[in-house]
């Protein structure tokens, strides 16, 4: 029984993580990669259903989800959101430093 609950908690956390990953990717895609927005929305939709299913199964068994899932999702979200922005700022700064030398 404990193994089943552990697997449900794991799948629940995986669904939660997937929702956050796709949501963060969608935010960036809506700004810079509009051609993949539809595909990402298509992939996000079933993940929401999976999450709901595992959430309901945990509730039915009075089992608490992993307490670290929100922390894990925040890490994914932060890295997915800030890496592309950081990269663009870094590139533009490099360009700005390079520009006066060439003039
Ligand atoms: Fe899933």
Residue range 67-86, pLDDT digits in tens? 877 676 666 666 666 666 55
Rounded-to-integer distance, Cα 94 and Cα 18, Å: 34
Instruction: Measure 7 CA to ligand 1 centroid, in angstroms.
Output: 13
pLDDT confidence of 17, banded at 50, 70, 90? Answer: confident
Spacing, Cα 53 to ligand 1 middle (Å):
10
Residue partners of 35: CB distance under 8 A and separation at least 6:
none
Contact 88, 29 (CB under 8 A): no
Q: Which of 4, 16, 6, 11 is closest to 69 using CA atoms?
A: 16
pTM for the whole structure:
0.68
Please tell me whether residue 21 adopts helix, strand or coil conformation. Answer: helix
Contact 6, 58 (CB under 8 A): no
Q: How confident is the model at residue 87 (pLDDT cuts 50, 70, 90)?
A: low
- The Å distance, Cα 51 to ligand 1 centre, comes to 7
């Amino acid at each position: 029984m404990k193994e089943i609950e552990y697997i449900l908690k794991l799948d629940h956390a995986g669904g939660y993580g997937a929702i956050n990953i796709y949501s963060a990717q969608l935010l960036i895609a809506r700004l810079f990669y509009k051609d993949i927005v539809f595909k990402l929305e298509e992939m996000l939709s079933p993940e929401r259903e999976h999450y709901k299913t595992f959430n309901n199964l945990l509730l039915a068994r009075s089992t608490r989800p992993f307490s670290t899932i929100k922390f894990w999702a925040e890490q994914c979200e932060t890295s997915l959101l800030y890496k592309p922005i950081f990269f663009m700022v870094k590139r533009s700064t490099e360009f700005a430093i390079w520009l006066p030398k060439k003039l």
